[in-house]
Structure 1
Amino acid sequence: MSHTAHIPSHRKPRRSASKVSLRAGVAGGVLSTIALAGAAAPANAAQPVTETIEMPTLTGDLATTAAATVQATKTVAADLQLHAAQDAAASSAAKDAKKAKDDADQKAAEAEAKAKAEAEAKAKADAAARASRSAARTKLSSSSSDGSTSSTTTFKSSSATGSAASIVNFALAQVGKAYVSGATGSSAYDCSGLVQAAYRQVGVDLPRVSQDQSATGTQVSLSNLQPGDILYWGSSGSAYHVAIYVGGGNFVGAQNPSSGVVERSLDWDSPTGAVRVL
């Protein structure tokens, strides 16, 4: 091969490793040939040796490798960012869940404490009401041994007419009969049993117990009573005793086992309120 030989360069998009090695070998051989030719040239050669050598170009393979490396780096970075975002989201969700649980526990504890306080207050109110009813019953059951509180005077109100007169007359006719808890006549009554029996004479069917009777009809003032009105002791809807107002400031009621059905003055034991059914 001449020392001025030109080695052509062949560029292709991609080369395999074996082709790159082959070209490197060819290039090495060419350089060796050039070296030998230079050694064999006359020492007095006037013209310098000019060589034009084109080395194999590997730019395509290197660019492809670099691009692949950059893409892999980007993929790894994206994966790391995704994992970091997922970890941050999981941590935030865990904090939110813990806060929600703490808030729920606090609300539950507050609700439990409130319910307990309300239950205790209701228990105290019920106990006070029971004590009040017990004291009232004790007062009703106390009667004078000299007979001053066991009057059996029969009173017929001249102002009672119609159904009211029938109720008053029936109540007065029961004075002197026995008091028996749960009895509704005809030889014995309890307080609400007497009131119910009196109103049944005029076709009015009242509730059985004093609590319900005290909430039946229209509430009226004690200063505006009429014969036949129902008197109650306690509060409307939870009364512990009832009787019938017969006029003239008196009432008839089945008081207690020791006194039975009696007629009393309102001054003897002033009722709490009254209702008018007729």
Structure 2
Amino acid sequence: MEALIAVVLMSLTAHIPSHRKPRRSASKIALRAGVAGGVLSTLAVAGASAPASAAEPVTETIEMPTITADLSTQVAESAYATQEAANSWALQAEQDQAIAKAAKQAKADQADAQQKAEAKKKAEAEAQRKAEEARASRSAQRTTLATVSAAANVSAPASGSVASVIAFLKAQLGDAYVMGGTGPNSWDCSGLTQAAFRQAGVSLPRVSQDQSTAGTPVSLSNLQVGDLLYWGAAGSAYHVGVYIGNGQYLDAANPSKGVVIQDLSGYPATGAVRLL
């Protein structure tokens, strides 16, 4: 009886090359289980007298797939790649946002700079316009004063005029020099010459610049007593005095000297005008 059971079991497993049984479909397993069950039932009836302990249950092990190390590594690498891609996208988004913000700020700065440049240009144009108006006004005033002076020079008496001018000047010798002084005991250079020529009926402008263009220009080699000397360019002279002959002139020199007589050789004049 045991030999017969062994033969049946061997016939059922003869097609399996190894001790590990391959996976089988559910239908084949059911069919073979039915055959084996029928055979075993027959054997059980035929050998009912055999001991119960001689029969052994037939079992079948179905192996489940396992996760290999390679598959685990691939899963980890795929997760890492996905995270890297997410990080890259987030970084790109931040960079795009920063670029957009910088472009917006640059545009605002450019507009502000352009507005300031236009305001500066307008201010410069306005300042230039005012300066031109001021120059035109000063030029008109000088022309008027020169005309008045010329008319006064023409109407001034011819006799005794120079003598009265020189006499007045010499009477002020030793007086102090004071900027803006017009007498009677302190003078600046143009204040003294204005007062002196007033004695001869000549009305001179108040400042040196205008006095230097008030009469008829004469060369320094053809000076006469009573000619007005000036230092600096005509129209922008910074000092005046009166020629008194013998290479000398009288002026309100400076705070240390006061009203004095000096030699032209020591301080040559730039030009001269004749008022009498």
| Smaller-chain TM-score bracket | 0.5 to 0.7
Q: Judging changes above 3 Å, is the alpha-carbon distance between structure 1 residues 146 and 182 closer, same or farther for their aligned structure 2 residues?
A: closer
Residue 27 (structure 1) aligned with residue 63 (structure 2):
no
Q: Paired residue for 2:275? A: 261
What is the TM-score with the length of structure 2 in the denominator? 0.52
Residue identity (%): 27
Q: Paired residue for 2:229? A: 195
C-alpha displacement of 1:55: 2.5
C-alpha displacement of 1:143: 2.8
For structure 1, the 5+ residue unaligned runs are 9-25, 162-170, 197-205, 230-241, 244-252, 255-259, 263-278
**Match for 2:229: what amino acid?**
V
Residue 214 (structure 1) aligned with residue 239 (structure 2):
yes
C-alpha displacement of 1:49: 4.1
CA distances 1:120-171 after superposition (whole Å, capped 9, x unpaired): 110111111111111111110113876558752414425648xxxxxxxxx9
CA RMSD of aligned residues (A): 4.6
Q: Whole-Å Cα distance in 1 between the matches of residues 218 and 123 of structure 2?
A: 39
C-alpha displacement of 1:105: 0.6
3-state SS, counterpart of residue 56 of structure 1: coil
What is the TM-score with the length of structure 1 in the denominator? 0.52
Q: Judging changes above 3 Å, is the alpha-carbon distance between structure 1 residues 96 and 42 closer, same or farther for their aligned structure 2 residues?
A: closer
Q: Paired residue for 1:74? A: 83
Residue 132 (structure 1) aligned with residue 141 (structure 2):
yes
Q: Paired residue for 2:33? A: 38
Pairing partner for 1:7 from 20, 34, 42: 20
C-alpha displacement of 1:57: 1.4
* Rg larger for: 2
Q: How is 1:35-184 mapped onto 2 (pairs within 5 angstroms)?
A: 35=30, 37-43=32-38, 44=41, 49-143=58-152, 147-148=156-157, 152-154=161-163, 155-156=166-167, 157=170, 160=173, 180-181=216-217, 183-184=219-220
Q: Paired residue for 2:259? A: 226
For structure 2, the 5+ residue unaligned runs are 1-9, 45-54, 175-195, 201-214, 241-251, 263-269
C-alpha displacement of 1:116: 0.6
Alignment check: 8 A CA contact 1:160 1:227 kept: yes
3-state SS, counterpart of residue 275 of structure 2: strand
Alignment check: 8 A CA contact 1:207 1:213 kept: yes
